[in-house]
């Protein structure tokens, strides 16, 4: 990557910081330039062309994980993806034998969860001076990168993401130490599945966690607690132009609708954590490994 993000990023002002603290999310246009977006999309095209996923691991991705973790093989494929580049698929893209029934480049829901560690293009953007400067402005002293993913939101079939909080899946003590950085690689509209947020909902804690289960359990992961019911009228849409970034507090409630349009909505997203005086829960599905500890954002 060219590193041009530092020249083109929107300046994070004190007013921006206050809005993020008040609302739990913030949209900044012009973070990447169009050429940088195109380069990330082209690199992902190359990765998908070379993907080789065993049939027993060809699983649908869902924030509820109700479909994707039905078998031991698929659950293991997911839970061990934190330090790898793996592929998760949309619903109804395979026949009963696990063969693709749509072009494979249109079948993928997302690729994760360690693009930032294993691919130079995504690592460069993740650790760019622009990202570092944003995070420093928000006051993070020792941020580490937890995970990264490329999200496709395929035309016509890009699946709905139900209301959720990232802290459900990435739990820390104390809460409030995780932030998502979501970069639009194409224009994002209400028609192709933009993010929707409930402003201020990051101030109410969480009621559900997604955890690893004790050894010997029937499944490798499970939910503890229940997701709250949310008034649909409280959500507001956040369209963003190609190259814009959305900063997402770990506890803010957000969702996106199915993409019923004829254009995709590609995005690159990653999560960071303030590691100073923070305990990463050993129950989280995502765990650092000796080979791949959570890397410092500032190095």
Could you tell me which residues are beta bridge partners of residue 211?
Answer: 222, 284
Instruction: Walk me through the domains of the chain, giving residue ranges and CATH numbers.
Output: 5-280 (2.60.120.620)
Dist. CA 104–CA 36, nearest whole Å: 24
Dist. CA 290–CA 273, nearest whole Å: 18
* Whether pLDDT at 4 is above 60: no
What integer pLDDT is reported at residue 5 of this predicted model? 47
Q: Cβ(75)–Cβ(56) under 8 Å?
A: no
* Whether pLDDT at 9 is above 60: no
What integer pLDDT is reported at residue 259 of this predicted model? 96
* Whether pLDDT at 54 is above 50: yes
pLDDT 10s digits, 128-181: 999 999 999 999 999 999 999 999 999 999 999 999 999 999 999 999 999 999
- What are the Cα distances from residue 248, in Å, to 55, 135, 162, 193, 269? 34, 12, 16, 17, 10
What integer pLDDT is reported at residue 65 of this predicted model? 45
DSSP letters, 42-76, are: HHHHHHHHT----GGG--B--TT-TTTTSSHHHHH
Could you tell me which residues are beta bridge partners of residue 144?
Answer: 273, 296
What integer pLDDT is reported at residue 1 of this predicted model? 52
pLDDT 10s digits, 198-257: 999 999 999 999 999 998 788 899 999 999 999 999 999 999 999 999 999 999 999 999
As a whole number, mean pLDDT of residues 22-42 equals 98
Tell me the percentage of the chain whose pLDDT exceeds 90: 81
Residues contacting 269, CB < 8 A, separation 6+: 148, 149, 150, 151, 180, 181, 182, 183
**pLDDT band at residue 74, thresholds of 50, 70 and 90?**
confident
Q: Cβ(85)–Cβ(111) under 8 Å?
A: yes
As a whole number, mean pLDDT of residues 71-83 equals 83
As a whole number, mean pLDDT of residues 26-30 equals 97
What integer pLDDT is reported at residue 11 of this predicted model? 78
- pTM of the full predicted structure? 0.93
**pLDDT band at residue 52, thresholds of 50, 70 and 90?**
confident
* Whether pLDDT at 108 is above 60: yes
């Amino acid at each position: 990557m060219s590193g041009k993000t530092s020249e083109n990023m929107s300046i994070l002002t004190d007013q921006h910081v206050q809005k993020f603290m008040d609302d739990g999310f913030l949209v900044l246009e012009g973070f990447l330039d169009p050429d940088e977006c195109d380069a990330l999309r082209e690199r992902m095209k190359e990765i998908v062309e070379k993907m080789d996923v065993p049939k027993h691991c060809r699983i649908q991705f869902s924030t509820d994980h109700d479909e994707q973790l039905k078998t031991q093989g698929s659950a293991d494929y997911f839970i061990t993806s934190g330090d790898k580049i793996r592929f998760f698929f949309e619903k109804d893209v395979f026949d009963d034998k696990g063969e693709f029934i749509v072009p494979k480049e249109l079948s993928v829901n997302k690729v994760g969860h360690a693009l930032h560690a294993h691919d130079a293009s995504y690592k460069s953007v993740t650790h760019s001076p622009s990202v570092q400067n944003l995070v420093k402005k928000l006051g993070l002293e020792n941020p580490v990168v937890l995970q990264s993913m490329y999200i496709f939101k395929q035309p016509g079939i890009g699946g709905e993401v139900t209301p959720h909080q990232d802290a459900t899946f990435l739990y820390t003590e104390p809460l409030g130490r995780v932030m998502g950085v979501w970069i639009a690689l194409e224009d994002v509209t209400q028609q192709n599945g933009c993010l929707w947020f409930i402003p201020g909902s990051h101030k109410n804690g969480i009621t559900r966690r997604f955890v690893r289960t004790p050894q010997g359990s029937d499944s490798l992961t499970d939910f503890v607690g229940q997701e709250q019911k949310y008034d649909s009228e409280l959500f507001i849409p956040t369209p963003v132009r190609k190259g814009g970034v959305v900063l997402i507090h770990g506890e803010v409630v957000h969702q996106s609708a199915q993409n019923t349009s004829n254009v995709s909505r590609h995005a690159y997203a990653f999560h960071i954590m303030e590691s100073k005086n923070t305990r990463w829960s050993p129950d989280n599905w995502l765990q650092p490994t000796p080979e791949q500890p959570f890397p410092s954002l500032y190095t």
